[in-house]
Every structure is written in C-alpha cells, then in structure tokens.
Structure 1
Amino acid sequence: MTWNLGYNTDLGYTYGYYREQDPSWLDLCALIKGAAPPSLWAGDQLRYLELGCGQGLNLCLIAACHPQIEFVGIDFNPQHIAHAQRLAHTAGLHNVRFIEGNFVELGRAWPAELGRFQYASAHGILSWIGRTARDGLYACLDAALLPGALGYFSYNTLPGWLSTLPVQHLLRLWQTREGLSSLKAIELGRARFETMIQVNAAMCRVLPAMRARIGQLAKHDRSYLVNEYLHEEWTAFWFDELAAEMSPHKLTYLGTAAAGDWYLPVMLLPDWRAILNQYEDPIIRETMFDVLINQSFRRDLWIKGQTPLWLEDQRQAILNRRCVLLNRPQPKAEGQNPYQFNTSLGEIQGKPEVYGPLYEAVAAGPKTIAELMHVPVGTPATGATPAANLTLGDVLKAVGLMLHAGHIALVHEVKSDKPAKSLNRTIFNAVLAGGPYRHVIASALPWVLMVSDVDLMLCGLYLANPKVNAQQLAGLWVDRLSSLGRGLIHEGQSLTSRETMLPRAQELATVFIERTFPTWQRLGVI
C-alpha cells in the first residue's frame, strides 16, 4: 500500500466552498433539533477541525468569516497542504493552520499540541476512503472531539447511487486493467458509456438514471470527476450502515444540515408520509426517508453527547438568529410563481402571499427570526393576516428554503473585517494571475458569495486602477486575458482577438462599475 492508501492523487481536488460547514449554519441546524451548539456553551474558546481539508480554500473562507474561532485543517496530500498554507499566509489569516497528516497515523497517536475541538467536519471524505482510513478518521474524532461537539459529514448515499455504482466500478476497472491515466479513463469511459446507452444495453435500460449521470460527466470539473470516481475503494452508504459505524465513537445523529430539508418529511405526499409513519425507530425511519426520495447525497449533523438545552432557551436562541437578503428570485416566465425551491424531494412551490412579504422584509435589512414572525402575510383575496398566524415553524421552514436556495444569508457580528477583506484581496490578485477561485466574502455580514471570474478579475484591475472608466478597464482586462492565453465567450461564440473582445469586455466592465462594484462596497467585499 502506498502513502495515498488507495486514494487517487493524480489531480488535486477542486477549489470549492461548502456553506454547510460554516459554524453559524451548523449552530442553527443544531438549535432546530434541540441541541445546544458550541457557541452557547464554549464561550470564546471555540475550535474547529476539518478532516480532509483539500486545497484549504473552504476553510480559509470560513476562518476569515469567524476570526474569533481557531481552525485546523488536516489533509494527507502535500499538494493540498502546500496550497492551503500559502493561501492562508498570503492573506495574513492568523486563526487557521494546515497540517499534512494521515488519518491512520494520527488516529493511533493524536498529537497533544493539536488539542480538542467543539466542531469537526469532513466533506465527502467518508465515501472516498477505504475502511482502514475511515477507522483512522473515527479514531481522530475519538481523540479530538469534546463532549457536546458537533460533527458534520457529507457522503454519497443509497439508494440514490444505485444506478451509478456500475459507472464507478467500470471506470476504475478500465483504468487499472488498461493502464489508463485518470483523465484518459474519464474521457474514454464517458465515450464507452454513451455508446452503451446508444445501443440500449440491458444494464442501461434497467438503470435509467444512469443516463443522466453520464450526461453530467461532460459538465463537471475534471478534478472533481477523478476524485469522485477513480479511487481504489469507494463507498455509497445506506444511512443505517453509517450510523452503525458512528455509534461506537459516541456520535449520535442529530439531523440534516441541508436547510432545505429541515421540514421535508412533513412535505411528503400523504401516501409517502403514511409509509414513513409506520416506523418509530429513528435509524429505520431515516433510512426509509432516503428510500422514499431516492436520496443520493447526505449532509448530516452528528453530536458527541447532547448538551441539555431547555425549551425556552432553545426558542430564544433561535428567535435571535438574524438573516438578510442576498438576491431575490425572479419568475422564470411571465405570470409564474417566482418562489420555487429545489429540494431533495424535488421542486417545492412557496406561497407568494407568504414568501413575498418575507423577502420584502429581509430586503429592507437584517431581520431576526422573531422579527420575521411579525411580518404581515395574507392572500390577495383576504388581505393581510394577523402576524400571530405566522408560527415559528412556518418561519423556519421558509428560512430553510431561502437559505438552501442561496437567497438569504445568516448574519453574525465580528470584531474586525480585516481578515475577510485581506483574503478577498488575495483572491482578486490570484485570479488576475490565472487562479481558479470563484468566491469572496461579504464582510459586512460576513458571508461567502459565489461570484464569476469575470467580476473577480475586473475588481482586481479596478482596485489597482481606480480612476479608469469602463472603456479603459475593458482594455486592461482584455490585455490581461490575452497574457493568460484566454478569451471571452459571447452568445456561444469564442472571442479571442483584441478587436473582437473589446466591445463585449466594455459591456461587462460598464455593468461592473455601475452595479457590481457599488454592491460589493455595500456588502463589504472591498
């Protein structure tokens, strides 16, 4: 066995951000399930551990949003850690550090200097490592987690992955038996599956969901595809299987960290609810919920010994949480309901007479959950309904869907916005140099925003040349794109020469200066 323990390291992992790992998000999820989050009982000594931190961008973004928390990221891939350490150093982040470490070795002897933590997270890791490494990860959690700590784990789930199990198996088989590089295995494998679909191979016929999965291969980042499919060991879990693995390590399932799924069981079709309600055992019930909706990916919150939280304390802690509007949904067609939310169950329609006033309220500024309970709602026929008709459950269901859709953000206070703005500057400069980042922090909230590389490059150039107009900014941008060997895409056409790029570049630069830049100033991006 080599140092990678069967994990494919041909390409580094993607440069992503996963909002469910944010402590503020985890705290609210815990509160809704009646558990006291660490922020209520640990004072100002909060510590957060990410196992399998990848490139480290995710943890740097979260750390910059929470400068009062100490963060530690661990990954066994030196390429990942080298990038993470450089990013944190360049941005001047003093509350995060990265360590190259193997779960198996760390689990055998957890370094005393790493200490213990109130939060731990592992995004996707459980599905991509073998049992030996997984046992090492659990041993790390045994040593690192304090009583009452929260653990976030996301992983591939059955039955939703059943139709794709052959895809992973065959891709890996072709790679190993034919000696293919990882990229070649992905490209050749995609072509082979497309041929099998075209000839209506029996396997593809009886597993119709496989067609959609194959169709998505061409749209995904190659680093993601290699890391998703081409490991020596790969596991999609039934929920009860993972619960059985967690149990010996004193970890109890608390609830979903997918905000859009907080109240999903009560939204099931009546016949489905009747099936689910047959089961009282929580493990069977959760597994059967996955069966009913064909769950393929779970974002779970677990707890190591639940800290008591009395009912009134829970209610007050929830009521004091604040949220603010990021963007308001627009109807896809004239006369269509704009309040449509994609969940694990499918698309859910929000009532305009309820969601319209709620969006208006958060658009006016940050609002607590308590304040949202007093927003007048009603129907066009009856007019406003008394605020008492909007229950805490109603508001939390709406807030969960709005958070899940990325329409609102959770707001918390920090003493300084310098870490967030410093990281943003580092990101602007890196993207100008050809870096792959696509996120910045709205330090006024603070909250991480997903943005385009277009706006990141334009912002970096505009900050360096604040007196230029749109035409001049466009020229600077086109010159930078040319130096990177890149062009623009407009209406399906590739623009590569300076003459063809400039008109489109000026259009985008004008929008940036007139709209995006003032918005980013208001949000504290710059």
Structure 2
Amino acid sequence: MGWDHGYYSHSTYTSAFFRELAPSWLDFAALIKGHCPPRGEEGQPFRYLELGCGMGFGLCVLAALHPEGTFVGIDFNPSHISHAEGLSRRLALTNVRFLEADFLALAEDPSPLGPGPEFGGGFHYVAAHGIATWVRETVQQALFFVASAALRPAGLFYCSYNTLPGWLGRTTFQQLYELERGRSDPAEPKVPLRRAIAGLKALLGTVDQPTALRHAIPQLEEDLAGLDPEQFDYLCGEFANEGWQPLYVADLHRRCMSHKLHPLGTATLPEAFDQLLAPSIQGPIFAEANSLIRQTMIDLATNKSFRRDVFVKGLDPLTLQDAEMRIGGLGLRPLHLPSAPSEGPPSFSFGTSFGQVHGDPDVYGPIVERLASRGCTVFELQQHSGQSAAELLMVLSLFLNAGWIGFDRSRQAGAGKLITQCQRCNGVLMELIAGGRPYASLLLPEVGTALPVSLVDVLIHKAMDQGLQEPMLSTCVLMGLDQMGVHLLAADKSPITDPEAKLSRLQALIGDFREYRLPILWRLGGLPSPKERQPRSAQRRSRAPAPK
C-alpha cells in the first residue's frame, strides 16, 4: 500500500465552496437542536479545522470572510497543499495555514494541529466534506479519532458522506468502472469512464424493452446521465478510490459515537424537521423512538443519497429561555427573495430531499415581506409574522436552504474593514477565474457566505467594468470565451455552435447577471456599488444641495 492508502491521488480534486461549512450555518444547525453553539455571538474569535481540505479554495473563502477566525487545512496530497498555500498568498490571508499530513499519522501524533483541549486549545469547528466514504475504514477511523481529539468540548463536527440506499445504483457504475480501469491504458484515463457509462447504459435496455437491471434500479438511467467524463477530476475523486463505500446512516453514526462524537443534527436544514416528510410515512417514523432506527427509516423512505450530519463532542443543551434569546437575536439579510407575482397570490414551493414542500401564502407571505427590507432579527420577524418559534424556524430553514436569505454580519465590529478586504479578494479571484482557474464563487462579506458565479459572469463584469455596451459587450465576452476554448452550453449541456444561438444564450446570461448576481454583490459588500466607485469629488457634488 502506497502513501495514498488506496485513495486516488493521480489528479487533483475540484475547487468548490460549500455554504454549509460556514460557522454561522453550523451554529444555526446546533441551535435548532437546542445545543449551545461553540461561539457566544457572531464575530467572536474561533478556531476551525478542515480535514481533507483538498485544493483549499473553500477554506480560503471562509478565512477571508471571517478574519476573527483561525483556520487550519489538512490534506495528504502535496499538490493540494501547494495550490492551497499559493491561493492564500495571492489573497494575502494571514489567518489560515495548510498542513500536508496523513490521518493515520495524526492519529498517532496530533501535535502538528497545535495545542489540544487539554492545554486550553482545540478547535470550535472541525469539518470533513465527503471524505468519510472515499477512504478505507482504517483511515476513516483515524479521521474520526483526529476530529474528536482536535475538538474542544461542545465543539461541532461536520461530516458529509454518500449514503445508502440512494447510492445503490451508482455502486453498479463504480464496480464496472473499477474493472475497466484495470484493463485500460493509464495514458488515456477518460477511456474507462466512457466505457463504464456506455456499457451500463446498454445493460438497461430500453423503456419499451427494459432489462431486469432497469426494473430493479429505475433511477440508474438518470444517475448515469449526470456522469460527465469531462468532469474527470471530480469523477476520479468520487469513484476511483479503493476504499470507496457508501454507508447507511446507522453504520456511520455508530463509528462516530465510538470516538465521543454524538449525532446532533444536520446542516441540510430542512431535514431537521421531520414534519416535512410526506404524511403517508410520518406515522411509522414518528412512532420510532430509537434514533438510529428512525434516521435509517427516513433515509430508506426518501432514498437518501447524501447526508451533511453535525456531531458534537459533549452536549451543552440550552434552556428554553436561552434558546429563544440566542435564536431571537440572530440577524437575517435577504439574498434573493422571490418577487410578488403581477396577478394572483404568491406561490411558495421548495425542493427538499423529503420531496416538494408547499408553503401557505398567508403564513409565508408576511415573512417574505418583512425580510425584503434591509434585514431584521428573528425576534423582529416573529413579532411581525405572529408565528410560533418552532414554525418560524422551519420556514427560515427552508428559506436558507433555498438561498433566499443569509445571516447578517454587517453589525459586528470591523464590518467596513471586512468589506474592503473581501472586495480586494474578489478582485483577485475574478482575475484568476478570467485566467482559467476553476473557481466558481465570490465573497459576500455582509452575510458570511459566497455567491456562485461562472467564468461567463466574470467576463461579463470585466467588459461592463470597461464601460462596454451592446453589441460590443456580447462580442467581447464571446471573444474571451473563444480564446479560452470554452463553449456556451444549451439546456441539454451540449455545446452551442450556431452564432445566433450563441448570441441569444449569452444575452440571456448577461440579463441574469445584471438582474440577479450583480445587485447581490453590490448590496452585500462583494463589489463596490457604482455610487461607492465615484471619485470623492463627484460624491461631494452629488450630495451638494441644488442651487436656488
């Protein structure tokens, strides 16, 4: 066994930011379950450890958004660490460090992480995104040991992983892909991916003449359609590991509990509310008191494929009064609330792992109306809406999950300095994206998260920043895409080749950026607004009273 312990180390993983790893999000997930979060309030100093940080992009984003935090990223792939350190230097971050280390070695000697809880140190948050089901069980056990050893008492451990039964269909692909890799030329690494996808599709038969495999796993055709061989780094990181094994929730929870990590809740916020389950399955699930069995029943009934579980090292339950105070004081800001329809009552519909959830306009409407202003606290929202605390928490969890709102960080000390830092970082990130780096997020400092963006968005902003108007705006963006060998994609993900269709698609993207992403970046501190970018003399003139 080599240094990678069977983990696929022949390419680097993707660079992504996951909002559920943010401290404010994890604190809210803990509050929902009545646990006292590791931080007393927003803006309080904290320590954050990511195990398996990959390319380090997500951790750098968190570090830029939270200068009051100290961040450490661990990964055993030196290429990942090299990239992470280079990005942190480019962003001029001083509160994050990356360490090339092995979980097995850290389990033997965790001292490289810094002072542990026994010496007054330890981490408030430890995160491991996706890693648990990609490694051999011995490495997985080391991961849990390190997470527990690194956490402070009452600290939170975020662990996301592939689960059964939702991943059952893709185990067929993984098995065929592993065999295809064994007989393929390593110089052509995409060939076994294509062969495995094509071979498995052929085994499904047709809708009119289905095989037993299609009958047994009807979801498999859709699963295969989502596998794109061009996303090579992601698919290898997902399926090419020798220790690859999706798990039932009970198995993973038992393994974590053996390391003092108690299951607390979920970072997929709507899943914290079992009342959102379909009424037809609520009866037997609500009747089950055993947590392991109940969670397993939920996953079976909903065909769960991915979980974002939150564990705690030592429960610190809040009193009902303390919980109401902590939750009531949380500030909320709108990101992209739905606009009121021109005719008829508004419709509120949310896609969740439990199915589609439809909200009562008489309940949800006043909440959206109040949030549509600059922002408010949960307590102010409860007074305005008249909803119970439990009902309001469920509604807010749906809003957060849908990307409608975020947690307000604009009231903390040093907010202005934070905005300046994040705007500088966004400038660097946009230059890197325009240069071909596969990043897809820009910072939103006033809500402590990041906004998904694309290369096209960045090129549109760059052209707009140069004062270009149509038709030169579209022409400039199309030229930039052509120079980078990037194609605009149709709805079915196929490249658009027709010039008129390209232009039509691009103009739709420009309209979306102008109406949605750019105003959010301006409003939440990601980019200077046009007014902020005026020279001081122009701003003074604009504020001067009109002559009489």
Q: Same fold (TM over 0.5)?
A: yes
Moved more, 36-45 or 420-429: 36-45
2:533 counterpart residue number: none
Structure 2 residue 181 is matched with structure 1 residue 171: no
Structure 2 residue 400 is matched with structure 1 residue 403: yes
1:384 counterpart residue number: none
Moved more, 295-304 or 408-417: 408-417
1:196 counterpart residue number: 203
Moved more, 331-340 or 299-308: 331-340
Provide the rounded CA distance (Å) in 2 between the counterparts of 1:220 and 1:353. 46
Moved more, 201-210 or 40-49: 40-49
Structure 2 residue 20 is matched with structure 1 residue 23: no
Deviations 1:248-285 (A, max 9, x none): 2111000111112121x123344422211332222222
2:540 counterpart residue number: none
Give, in angstroms, the shift of residue 487 of structure 1: 4.8
1:98 counterpart residue number: 98
- In the superposition, relative to structure 1, how do residues 273 and 496 fare at CA in structure 2: closer, same or farther (>3 Å)? closer
Give, in angstroms, the shift of residue 451 of structure 1: 2.0
Moved more, 469-478 or 307-316: 469-478
In structure 2, which of residues 132, 137, 141 is the aligned counterpart of residue 131 of structure 1? Answer: 137
1:215 counterpart residue number: 225
Secondary structure of the corresponding residue to residue 264 of structure 2: strand
Letter of the aligned partner of 1:521 in structure 2? Answer: W
1:417 counterpart residue number: 419
Tell me, yes or no, if the aligned pair for 2:162 and 2:307 is still in contact at 8 Å: yes
- In the superposition, relative to structure 1, how do residues 332 and 72 fare at CA in structure 2: closer, same or farther (>3 Å)? farther
Tell me, yes or no, if the aligned pair for 2:103 and 2:146 is still in contact at 8 Å: yes
Unaligned runs of 5+ in 2: 116-121, 528-548
In structure 2, which of residues 324, 339, 359 is the aligned counterpart of residue 350 of structure 1? Answer: 359
Tell me, yes or no, if the aligned pair for 2:7 and 2:135 is still in contact at 8 Å: yes
2:163 counterpart residue number: 157
2:259 counterpart residue number: 249
Q: What aligned pairs does 1:18-57 form with structure 2 within 5 A after superposition?
A: 18-40=18-40, 44-57=44-57
Give, in angstroms, the shift of residue 102 of structure 1: 1.1
- In the superposition, relative to structure 1, how do residues 514 and 165 fare at CA in structure 2: closer, same or farther (>3 Å)? closer
Deviations 1:412-439 (A, max 9, x none): 2452223322221111101111121211
Structure 2 residue 80 is matched with structure 1 residue 83: no
1:523 counterpart residue number: 524
2:216 counterpart residue number: 206
1:260 counterpart residue number: 270
Q: What aligned pairs does 1:63-78 form with structure 2 within 5 A after superposition?
A: 63-78=63-78
Provide the rounded CA distance (Å) in 2 between the counterparts of 1:506 and 1:272. 46
- In the superposition, relative to structure 1, how do residues 469 and 208 fare at CA in structure 2: closer, same or farther (>3 Å)? closer
Give, in angstroms, the shift of residue 462 of structure 1: 4.3
2:539 counterpart residue number: none
Give, in angstroms, the shift of residue 111 of structure 1: 2.3
2:448 counterpart residue number: 446
Provide the rounded CA distance (Å) in 2 between the counterparts of 1:504 and 1:343. 29
Moved more, 486-495 or 230-239: 486-495
Letter of the aligned partner of 2:356 in structure 1? Answer: E
Moved more, 24-33 or 310-319: 310-319
Unaligned runs of 5+ in 1: 377-386
Tell me, yes or no, if the aligned pair for 1:260 and 1:403 is still in contact at 8 Å: no
Give, in angstroms, the shift of residue 503 of structure 1: 8.2
Give, in angstroms, the shift of residue 243 of structure 1: 1.6
- In the superposition, relative to structure 1, how do residues 347 and 113 fare at CA in structure 2: closer, same or farther (>3 Å)? closer
Provide the rounded CA distance (Å) in 2 between the counterparts of 1:231 and 1:473. 45
Tell me, yes or no, if the aligned pair for 1:325 and 1:366 is still in contact at 8 Å: yes
Tell me, yes or no, if the aligned pair for 2:43 and 2:68 is still in contact at 8 Å: no
Structure 2 residue 291 is matched with structure 1 residue 286: no
Provide the rounded CA distance (Å) in 1 between the counterparts of 2:173 and 2:508. 43
Provide the rounded CA distance (Å) in 2 between the counterparts of 1:398 and 1:219. 38
1:183 counterpart residue number: 190
2:321 counterpart residue number: 312
- In the superposition, relative to structure 1, how do residues 333 and 188 fare at CA in structure 2: closer, same or farther (>3 Å)? farther
Provide the rounded CA distance (Å) in 2 between the counterparts of 1:258 and 1:490. 30
1:381 counterpart residue number: none
Deviations 1:34-82 (A, max 9, x none): 1111112899441000001111111111222211111111111122111
Provide the rounded CA distance (Å) in 1 between the counterparts of 2:261 and 2:513. 47
Give, in angstroms, the shift of residue 177 of structure 1: 4.3
- In the superposition, relative to structure 1, how do residues 270 and 481 fare at CA in structure 2: closer, same or farther (>3 Å)? closer
Letter of the aligned partner of 1:278 in structure 2? Answer: A
Secondary structure of the corresponding residue to residue 36 of structure 1: coil
In structure 1, which of residues 287, 299, 308 is the aligned counterpart of residue 308 of structure 2? Answer: 299
2:245 counterpart residue number: 235
Q: What aligned pairs does 1:481-496 form with structure 2 within 5 A after superposition?
A: 481-488=481-488, 494=496
Q: What aligned pairs does 1:492-507 form with structure 2 within 5 A after superposition?
A: 494=496
Q: Normalising by structure 2, what TM-score?
A: 0.86
Deviations 1:203-228 (A, max 9, x none): 33222222221122139833222211
Deviations 1:354-391 (A, max 9, x none): 22221121111212111211234xxxxxxxxxx2xx11
Tell me, yes or no, if the aligned pair for 1:107 and 1:138 is still in contact at 8 Å: no
Provide the rounded CA distance (Å) in 2 between the counterparts of 1:4 and 1:510. 46
Letter of the aligned partner of 1:81 in structure 2? Answer: I
Secondary structure of the corresponding residue to residue 39 of structure 1: coil
Secondary structure of the corresponding residue to residue 71 of structure 1: strand
Q: Normalising by structure 1, what TM-score?
A: 0.89
Provide the rounded CA distance (Å) in 1 between the counterparts of 2:341 and 2:196. 36
Letter of the aligned partner of 2:151 in structure 1? Answer: L
Moved more, 82-91 or 505-514: 505-514
Q: What aligned pairs does 1:426-441 form with structure 2 within 5 A after superposition?
A: 426-441=428-443
